[in-house]
Every structure is written in structure tokens, then in C-alpha cells.
């Protein structure tokens, strides 16, 4: 059985430490802990490893956040992966910094990366792991906030959550989304 885990973010050193790139940061951690490495391929950097008999592919699209749908469609088609075995890891302004929530599906919530994936797949029926980045910004300051760098305090919170994020990704692939949601959501 195969799974595609997509971390959303923007390519380039300019965006590396920004809140919007938490999907990339999470996948980097999962890959490192799984002794996997990324290679540059069409539409992004891809990595793979096996876990309890499951083939897990990690994708960091190089299409920039707002055009992530093309990369997702290309790789689920190329790898012949069902949409229910797709997990999109993304930042979420509606969750406090470090809060984690897995969902079976849902709206894009104003997130342009999710909006593009939903449009390209013609569906919002795909799992996602939402990582809270908070919403500590003035009215109209959303773009500057998500493209801003983490504070030292936020770094500490997120570093402590990386192991849980890895466990959630592996649980999604091995135990399924329902069990993963029951075990990890709201904890």
C-alpha cells in the first residue's frame, strides 16, 4: 500500500524559516527520522521510505504554495495513489501555535495552497494535517504574518511538536485516519 504525504511551503532560502513553510519543516523532520532523503524531481523534491510494510512518499512541491495542486495531481497520478492515501500537511491560522489537528476533508479555510489543490482535484475530500501557527497579527496583516519568521518562543513550541507530527503521519499510514484522529486530535 502506498501513501503520499505532501508538505506545503514555498521554495527558496527567503521562505525557509517562515510560518507558511511548516509543511516543509515537518516533512524534513519525518524524512530525517526515517533515514530518507529528498531528491529533486518533477514538481518538487520527493523522498520515500517503508514503514511496517507501507510505502510512504514525501513531497515538497516546488510550485510555490498557491500552485500546489499541479504537483499533488502529478504525483498521485504517477504513483497511482488513491486520494484517501494522500495527506496534506499545512499551516493553519485558526489554530494556536503548535496545536495539531488531522481532518478527513474540509474547506480550504482561505488557505491558497489548499484552495489550489481543491480546484485541481475537483474535490475537498482529501485528508490534511493542520499545524497551528496562530493569528497574532493586525487586521490586514495576514500575508506578512504567514510569510514572517517564527519567534524564538514559537520555534521552541514547534520543535517539541515535531515528534508528534511524525507519529501522526506514520499513524495515518499504518492505523488509518479515524484511529489517528481519535488518538491525537485535541491532545
Q: What is the pLDDT of residues 36-67, one digit of tens each?
A: 999 999 999 999 999 999 999 999 999 988 99
Angle at 103 between CA 119 and CA 52, to 5 degrees: 105
Reported as a single tens digit per residue, the pLDDT across 120-141 is 999 999 999 999 998 888 888 8
Q: What is the pLDDT of residue 144?
A: 84
- DSSP H or E segment with residue 28: helix 22-33
pLDDT for residue 187:
62
For the entire predicted model, the pTM comes to: 0.94
pLDDT score of 49: 97
Low-confidence ranges of the chain (pLDDT < 70): 186-187
Q: Does the active-site annotation cover 20?
A: yes
Which residue matches cell numbers 531528491?
A: 39
Domains of the chain are 2-184 (3.40.50.1470)
Amino acid at each position: 500500500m502506498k501513501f503520499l504525504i505532501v508538505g506545503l511551503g514555498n521554495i527558496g532560502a527567503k521562505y525557509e524559516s517562515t510560518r507558511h513553510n511548516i509543511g516543509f519543516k515537518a516533512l524534513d523532520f519525518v524524512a530525517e527520522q526515517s533515514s530518507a532523503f529528498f531528491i529533486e524531481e518533477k514538481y518538487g523534491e520527493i523522498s520515500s521510505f517503508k514503514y511496517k510494510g507501507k510505502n510512504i512518499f514525501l513531497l515538497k512541491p516546488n510550485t510555490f504554495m498557491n500552485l500546489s495542486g499541479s504537483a499533488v495531481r502529478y504525483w498521485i497520478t504517477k504513483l497511482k495513489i488513491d486520494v484517501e492515501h494522500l495527506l496534506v500537511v499545512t499551516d493553519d491560522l485558526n489554530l494556536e501555535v503548535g496545536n495539531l489537528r488531522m481532518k478527513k476533508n474540509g474547506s480550504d479555510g482561505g488557505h491558497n495552497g489548499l484552495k489550489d489543490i481543491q480546484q485541481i482535484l475537483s474535490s475537498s475530500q482529501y485528508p490534511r494535517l493542520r499545524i497551528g501557527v496562530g493569528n497574532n497579527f493586525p487586521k490586514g496583516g495576514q500575508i506578512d504574518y504567514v510569510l514572517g519568521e517564527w519567534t524564538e518562543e514559537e520555534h521552541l513550541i514547534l520543535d517539541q511538536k515535531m515528534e508528534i507530527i511524525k507519529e501522526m503521519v506514520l499513524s495515518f499510514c499504518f492505523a488509518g485516519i479515524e484511529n489517528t484522529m481519535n488518538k491525537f486530535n485535541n491532545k
